[in-house]
Amino acid sequence: MKYILNVNGQSRTVDVPPDTPLLWALRDNLELTGTKYGCGVGQCGACTIHLNGVPARACMTPVSTVGRMKVTTIEGLAENGKMHPLQQAWSELDVAQCGYCQPGQLMTAAALLKDNPRPSDADIDGAMAGNICRCGTYVRIRQGIKRAAALAAGGKETAQ
C-alpha cells in the first residue's frame, strides 16, 4: 500500500503493508534511522516521535493510522538549521553515554518543555518515566532538561 506521510515538514511516500509500524517505515523506507528500535512493544521509548506535536511510540503506530498527522522525528527537531535548546543542552552537559536512547529522550523532553517550560524534578521524572536509558544517564537528563529550559528562557541561567 502507498501512503503519503508528512515527515518533518516534507511529503514522503512509502509503499508498505498497512500494519507496518511507523518505526520501520521511517528506518527502512525513509532512511531516517534516528528513531530507534528498542523493544517493539512501547516499553522503552527509544522510538518516540511526535504526531501533531504529541509524543508517540513509532513502534506501536501502524503506518495506516498516521493519515495527515504531522510526523516529527529527531532529524526534524532542529528547526531551520538551529539546534533545539535540548540538543544544545545535551551537547553542553555531555548527557549521552552510548547515545542509543537519546533521540527518544529528546523527543519526549521536547514535548514536555512545550507544555511546561519550567519543569520541576518531579515534572521531569513524570514525563520521562517511559524512556529507558540502559547506560543510566538519568541525572544528566534531568540537568539537561533544566538547562534547555534556561536556554529557551534566554540562556542566562545555569543548570542546577
Partner 1 sequence: MNRRDFLKLSSLAGGGFALAFCLRSGGEARAADSASGGDFKPNAFVRIAPSGAVTIVSKQPEMGQGVKTSLPMIIAEQMEVPWQGITIEQGDFDEKLYGGQSAGGSRSTPNNYDTFHLLGATVRTMLVQAAAQTWGVPVAECRAENAAVIHTSGKKLAYGQLTVKAASLPVPDKEQVTLKPAKDYKLLGKRIAQIDTPRIVTGQPLFGIDVKLPGMLYAVYEKCPVFGGKVVSANLDFVKTLPGVKDAFVLEGNGKVKELRAGVAIVADSTWAAFSARRQLKVTWDEGAVAGQSWDTFVAEARTKSAQPGQRVLRKDGEVDAALASAAKTVSAEYLYPFISHANLEPQNTTAHWKDGVMEIWSPTQIPTIGTGMVNRVLGIAPEKIKLHLNRAGGGFGRRIGADYLIEAAAIAMKVPAPVKLTWSREDDLRHDQYRPGGLHFLKAGLDSSGRISAWKNHFFTFGEGGSPGSGGSLSPDEFPGRWIPNYLAEQTMFETGWPMGPWRAPGSCVFAWVFHSFIDELAHAAGRAPLEMRLELLGTRDEMPAGSGGGGKGKQNAGYNVARMRNILKFTAEKAGWGKRKFPKGSGAGIAFHFSHSGYFAQVAEVTVSKDGQLRVDRFVTGGDIGEQIVNLSGAENQVEGSVVDGLGTLLTQELNIERGRVVQGNFHDYPLIRITEAPLKIETHFLSTKYPTTGLGEPALPPVAPAICNAIFAATGKRVRQMPLSRVDLRWS
Question: Grid coordinates 521536547 are at which residue?
Answer: 110
Three-state DSSP at 33 gives coil
Task: Say if CB 79 and CB 136 are below 8 A apart.
Answer: no
Binding of residue 123 to partner 1 (CB under 8 A): no
Pairwise CA distance, residues 57 & 97, whole Å: 22
- How many residues sit close enough to partner 1 to count as binding (CB under 8 A)? 65
Task: Say if CB 59 and CB 47 are below 8 A apart.
Answer: yes
Backbone angles phi, psi at 91, to 5 degrees: -70, -45
Binding of residue 69 to partner 1 (CB under 8 A): no
Interface residue with partner 1 among 20, 48, 61, 72 (CB under 8 A) is 20
Q: Is the CB of 106 or the CB of 150 nearer to partner 1?
A: 106
Binding of residue 71 to partner 1 (CB under 8 A): no
Return residues touching partner 1 (CB under 8 A).
Answer: 16-17, 19-21, 24-25, 27-29, 31-41, 43-44, 46, 73-75, 77-78, 83, 86-87, 90-94, 96-103, 106, 121, 124-126, 128-142
